[in-house]
Amino acid sequence: MNRTSQPVTPDRFDAVLFDLDGVLTATASVHAACWKQMFDEYLGRTGEPFEPFDAEHDYKPYVDGKPRYDGVKSFLASRGIELPWGDPDDPPGDATICALGNRKDVLFNEVLRRDGPEVYRRSVDYVRHLHGLGIKTALVSASKNAQAILRAAKIEDLFDVRVDGKVAAELELAGKPAPDTFLEAARELDVEPARAVVVEDAISGVQAGHAGNFGLVIGVDRTGSGAALLENGADIAVSDLGELLP
Protein backbone atom coordinates (compact mmCIF):
# COMPACT_ATOMS: atom_id res chain seq x y z
CA MET A 1 0.00 0.00 0.00
CA ASN A 2 1.23 3.48 -0.81
CA ARG A 3 1.86 5.03 2.61
CA THR A 4 1.02 8.51 1.25
CA SER A 5 -2.47 7.40 0.26
CA GLN A 6 -5.44 7.84 2.57
CA PRO A 7 -7.86 4.94 2.05
CA VAL A 8 -10.39 6.28 4.59
CA THR A 9 -11.71 9.74 3.77
CA PRO A 10 -15.14 11.38 4.32
CA ASP A 11 -15.92 11.39 0.60
CA ARG A 12 -15.63 7.58 0.54
CA PHE A 13 -16.75 6.45 3.99
CA ASP A 14 -19.08 7.52 6.79
CA ALA A 15 -17.92 5.15 9.55
CA VAL A 16 -15.12 2.88 10.70
CA LEU A 17 -15.83 -0.21 12.82
CA PHE A 18 -12.93 -1.34 15.00
CA ASP A 19 -12.16 -4.62 16.70
CA LEU A 20 -10.47 -4.16 20.09
CA ASP A 21 -7.95 -6.84 21.05
CA GLY A 22 -4.89 -6.66 18.82
CA VAL A 23 -6.17 -3.57 17.01
CA LEU A 24 -6.38 -0.89 19.72
CA THR A 25 -5.18 -2.75 22.81
CA ALA A 26 -2.44 -5.31 23.33
CA THR A 27 -4.65 -7.74 25.20
CA ALA A 28 -4.49 -10.47 22.55
CA SER A 29 -1.35 -11.95 24.14
CA VAL A 30 -3.03 -11.86 27.56
CA HIS A 31 -6.08 -13.64 26.14
CA ALA A 32 -3.83 -16.27 24.54
CA ALA A 33 -2.01 -16.87 27.83
CA CYS A 34 -5.29 -17.20 29.74
CA TRP A 35 -6.71 -19.58 27.16
CA LYS A 36 -3.55 -21.69 27.50
CA GLN A 37 -3.70 -21.79 31.29
CA MET A 38 -7.38 -22.74 31.28
CA PHE A 39 -7.10 -25.42 28.59
CA ASP A 40 -3.89 -26.91 30.00
CA GLU A 41 -5.52 -27.21 33.42
CA TYR A 42 -8.48 -28.99 31.82
CA LEU A 43 -6.47 -31.22 29.47
CA GLY A 44 -4.30 -32.34 32.37
CA ARG A 45 -7.39 -33.68 34.14
CA THR A 46 -8.93 -35.65 31.26
CA GLY A 47 -6.83 -38.77 31.80
CA GLU A 48 -5.72 -38.68 28.16
CA PRO A 49 -2.09 -38.21 27.04
CA PHE A 50 -1.34 -34.55 27.76
CA GLU A 51 -0.84 -32.37 24.70
CA PRO A 52 -0.79 -28.76 25.88
CA PHE A 53 -2.61 -25.88 24.21
CA ASP A 54 -0.19 -24.21 21.80
CA ALA A 55 -0.62 -20.44 21.95
CA GLU A 56 1.02 -20.10 18.54
CA HIS A 57 -0.79 -22.82 16.59
CA ASP A 58 -4.10 -23.24 18.47
CA TYR A 59 -5.04 -19.66 19.43
CA LYS A 60 -5.47 -18.11 15.98
CA PRO A 61 -7.49 -20.83 14.21
CA TYR A 62 -9.72 -21.93 17.08
CA VAL A 63 -10.40 -19.10 19.51
CA ASP A 64 -9.11 -15.73 18.24
CA GLY A 65 -11.93 -13.30 17.46
CA LYS A 66 -14.71 -15.75 18.29
CA PRO A 67 -17.26 -15.48 21.11
CA ARG A 68 -15.75 -17.12 24.19
CA TYR A 69 -17.92 -20.24 24.31
CA ASP A 70 -17.61 -20.78 20.55
CA GLY A 71 -13.83 -20.66 21.03
CA VAL A 72 -14.01 -23.32 23.72
CA LYS A 73 -16.14 -25.57 21.52
CA SER A 74 -13.91 -25.02 18.48
CA PHE A 75 -10.69 -25.95 20.28
CA LEU A 76 -12.20 -28.97 22.03
CA ALA A 77 -13.52 -30.21 18.69
CA SER A 78 -9.99 -29.96 17.29
CA ARG A 79 -8.95 -32.45 20.00
CA GLY A 80 -11.98 -34.69 19.45
CA ILE A 81 -13.50 -33.68 22.81
CA GLU A 82 -17.23 -33.14 23.27
CA LEU A 83 -18.80 -31.46 26.28
CA PRO A 84 -22.37 -30.31 26.90
CA TRP A 85 -22.86 -26.61 26.16
CA GLY A 86 -24.20 -25.81 29.63
CA ASP A 87 -25.42 -22.38 30.68
CA PRO A 88 -23.66 -18.98 30.81
CA ASP A 89 -24.38 -18.95 34.56
CA ASP A 90 -22.35 -22.16 35.12
CA PRO A 91 -19.68 -21.62 37.78
CA PRO A 92 -16.10 -21.66 36.47
CA GLY A 93 -14.98 -25.25 36.06
CA ASP A 94 -14.81 -27.97 33.42
CA ALA A 95 -18.17 -29.73 33.39
CA THR A 96 -19.50 -27.77 30.40
CA ILE A 97 -18.30 -25.54 27.59
CA CYS A 98 -19.71 -22.52 29.42
CA ALA A 99 -17.96 -23.50 32.65
CA LEU A 100 -14.62 -23.66 30.87
CA GLY A 101 -15.27 -20.32 29.18
CA ASN A 102 -16.16 -18.78 32.52
CA ARG A 103 -12.91 -20.09 34.04
CA LYS A 104 -10.98 -18.36 31.25
CA ASP A 105 -12.91 -15.14 31.95
CA VAL A 106 -11.92 -15.25 35.63
CA LEU A 107 -8.25 -15.60 34.67
CA PHE A 108 -8.45 -12.71 32.20
CA ASN A 109 -10.13 -10.34 34.63
CA GLU A 110 -7.51 -11.11 37.26
CA VAL A 111 -4.80 -9.96 34.84
CA LEU A 112 -6.83 -6.92 33.71
CA ARG A 113 -7.32 -5.74 37.32
CA ARG A 114 -3.68 -6.31 38.17
CA ASP A 115 -1.94 -4.92 35.09
CA GLY A 116 -4.49 -2.91 33.09
CA PRO A 117 -4.55 -2.96 29.27
CA GLU A 118 -1.65 -1.86 27.10
CA VAL A 119 -2.84 0.55 24.38
CA TYR A 120 -1.47 0.96 20.86
CA ARG A 121 -1.16 4.74 21.03
CA ARG A 122 -0.69 5.40 17.32
CA SER A 123 -3.77 3.33 16.54
CA VAL A 124 -5.75 5.36 19.07
CA ASP A 125 -4.38 8.50 17.43
CA TYR A 126 -5.88 7.24 14.19
CA VAL A 127 -9.31 6.93 15.80
CA ARG A 128 -9.00 10.52 17.00
CA HIS A 129 -7.96 11.54 13.48
CA LEU A 130 -11.16 10.01 12.07
CA HIS A 131 -13.22 11.93 14.61
CA GLY A 132 -11.56 15.10 13.40
CA LEU A 133 -12.72 14.27 9.88
CA GLY A 134 -16.30 13.79 11.06
CA ILE A 135 -16.24 10.03 10.45
CA LYS A 136 -18.28 7.95 12.91
CA THR A 137 -16.65 5.14 14.88
CA ALA A 138 -17.85 1.93 16.48
CA LEU A 139 -16.24 -0.75 18.63
CA VAL A 140 -17.15 -4.29 17.54
CA SER A 141 -15.65 -7.00 19.73
CA ALA A 142 -16.53 -10.55 20.65
CA SER A 143 -15.29 -9.84 24.19
CA LYS A 144 -17.79 -9.46 27.01
CA ASN A 145 -15.06 -7.47 28.79
CA ALA A 146 -14.84 -4.83 26.06
CA GLN A 147 -16.41 -2.00 28.06
CA ALA A 148 -14.19 -2.67 31.07
CA ILE A 149 -11.11 -2.66 28.83
CA LEU A 150 -12.17 0.60 27.15
CA ARG A 151 -12.71 2.24 30.54
CA ALA A 152 -9.41 1.00 31.94
CA ALA A 153 -7.65 2.28 28.80
CA LYS A 154 -9.55 5.61 29.02
CA ILE A 155 -10.73 5.43 25.41
CA GLU A 156 -14.42 4.64 25.92
CA ASP A 157 -15.45 8.11 24.73
CA LEU A 158 -13.91 7.56 21.28
CA PHE A 159 -16.72 5.31 20.07
CA ASP A 160 -20.23 6.32 19.07
CA VAL A 161 -21.50 2.73 19.27
CA ARG A 162 -20.30 -0.43 21.05
CA VAL A 163 -21.38 -3.90 19.91
CA ASP A 164 -19.54 -6.37 22.14
CA GLY A 165 -20.09 -9.89 23.40
CA LYS A 166 -22.72 -8.77 25.90
CA VAL A 167 -24.70 -6.86 23.26
CA ALA A 168 -24.41 -9.74 20.82
CA ALA A 169 -25.81 -12.14 23.42
CA GLU A 170 -28.70 -9.82 24.24
CA LEU A 171 -29.59 -9.40 20.56
CA GLU A 172 -28.83 -13.06 19.74
CA LEU A 173 -26.34 -12.07 17.04
CA ALA A 174 -24.08 -14.69 15.51
CA GLY A 175 -20.40 -14.15 16.25
CA LYS A 176 -17.56 -13.68 13.80
CA PRO A 177 -16.90 -14.94 11.11
CA ALA A 178 -20.60 -14.13 10.59
CA PRO A 179 -20.96 -10.42 9.78
CA ASP A 180 -23.92 -9.86 12.13
CA THR A 181 -22.16 -7.79 14.81
CA PHE A 182 -20.58 -5.48 12.24
CA LEU A 183 -23.89 -5.10 10.45
CA GLU A 184 -25.58 -4.23 13.75
CA ALA A 185 -22.97 -1.54 14.43
CA ALA A 186 -23.53 -0.06 10.95
CA ARG A 187 -27.29 -0.12 11.56
CA GLU A 188 -26.92 1.67 14.89
CA LEU A 189 -24.69 4.29 13.25
CA ASP A 190 -27.23 4.62 10.42
CA VAL A 191 -24.66 3.98 7.69
CA GLU A 192 -24.69 1.59 4.75
CA PRO A 193 -22.10 -1.23 4.88
CA ALA A 194 -20.70 -0.05 1.54
CA ARG A 195 -19.90 3.28 3.22
CA ALA A 196 -18.26 1.67 6.28
CA VAL A 197 -14.82 0.24 7.00
CA VAL A 198 -14.01 -2.82 9.11
CA VAL A 199 -10.67 -2.94 10.98
CA GLU A 200 -9.63 -6.37 12.29
CA ASP A 201 -6.57 -8.38 13.28
CA ALA A 202 -8.27 -11.80 13.38
CA ILE A 203 -8.93 -14.06 10.40
CA SER A 204 -12.51 -14.57 11.60
CA GLY A 205 -12.88 -10.78 11.75
CA VAL A 206 -11.72 -10.03 8.21
CA GLN A 207 -13.91 -12.91 7.02
CA ALA A 208 -16.86 -11.20 8.73
CA GLY A 209 -16.05 -7.86 7.12
CA HIS A 210 -15.83 -9.48 3.70
CA ALA A 211 -19.06 -11.43 4.21
CA GLY A 212 -20.89 -8.24 5.19
CA ASN A 213 -19.93 -6.52 1.92
CA PHE A 214 -18.31 -3.60 3.71
CA GLY A 215 -16.67 -0.96 1.61
CA LEU A 216 -13.16 -1.65 2.91
CA VAL A 217 -11.63 -4.25 5.22
CA ILE A 218 -8.33 -3.32 6.85
CA GLY A 219 -6.27 -6.11 8.37
CA VAL A 220 -3.91 -5.27 11.24
CA ASP A 221 -0.90 -7.58 11.10
CA ARG A 222 1.05 -7.56 14.36
CA THR A 223 2.17 -11.19 14.21
CA GLY A 224 3.25 -11.80 10.60
CA SER A 225 -0.22 -12.93 9.52
CA GLY A 226 -0.66 -10.30 6.80
CA ALA A 227 -0.83 -12.79 3.95
CA ALA A 228 -3.49 -14.85 5.75
CA LEU A 229 -5.53 -11.71 6.47
CA LEU A 230 -5.42 -10.73 2.79
CA GLU A 231 -6.34 -14.25 1.72
CA ASN A 232 -9.37 -14.28 4.03
CA GLY A 233 -10.98 -10.96 3.17
CA ALA A 234 -8.77 -7.99 4.05
CA ASP A 235 -8.35 -5.47 1.24
CA ILE A 236 -5.17 -4.02 2.71
CA ALA A 237 -2.94 -4.93 5.66
CA VAL A 238 -0.91 -2.66 7.96
CA SER A 239 1.25 -3.41 10.97
CA ASP A 240 -0.32 -0.53 12.93
CA LEU A 241 -3.09 1.96 12.18
CA GLY A 242 -0.61 4.76 12.75
CA GLU A 243 0.61 3.97 9.23
CA LEU A 244 -2.63 5.46 7.91
CA LEU A 245 -2.14 8.81 9.61
CA PRO A 246 -1.32 11.70 7.27
Question: pLDDT, tens digit, for every residue of 103-139?
Answer: 999 998 888 888 888 899 999 999 999 999 999 999 9
Question: If you average pLDDT over every residue of the chain, what do you get?
Answer: 93
40 a catalytic residue: no
Would the pLDDT of 71 be above 50? yes
Would the pLDDT of 1 be above 80? no
Q: Of the listed 14, 21, 70, 180, which one is catalytic?
A: 21
70 a catalytic residue: no
Range of the domain at 183: 15-27+118-244
31 pLDDT band, cuts 50/70/90, is confident
5 pLDDT band, cuts 50/70/90, is low
Is the backbone of residue 159 left (phi > 0), alpha (psi -120 to 50) or beta? beta
Q: Of the listed 14, 19, 90, 164, which one is catalytic?
A: 19
Contact criterion met (CB below 8 Å) for 218 and 235: yes
The verdict on residue 10 lying in a domain is no
Domain match, 94 and 110 both: yes
The verdict on residue 9 lying in a domain is no
Instruction: Burial-class residue 140 by CB neighbours within 10 Å (0-12, 13-18, 19+).
Output: buried
Give the pTM. 0.77
Tens of pLDDT, residue by residue over 89-107, are 999 999 999 999 999 999 9
Boundary (domain end) residue, out of 96, 115, 134: 115
Domain match, 128 and 213 both: yes
Q: What is the pLDDT of residue 212?
A: 98
Number of domains in the chain: 2
The verdict on residue 59 lying in a domain is yes
Q: What is the pLDDT of residue 9?
A: 96
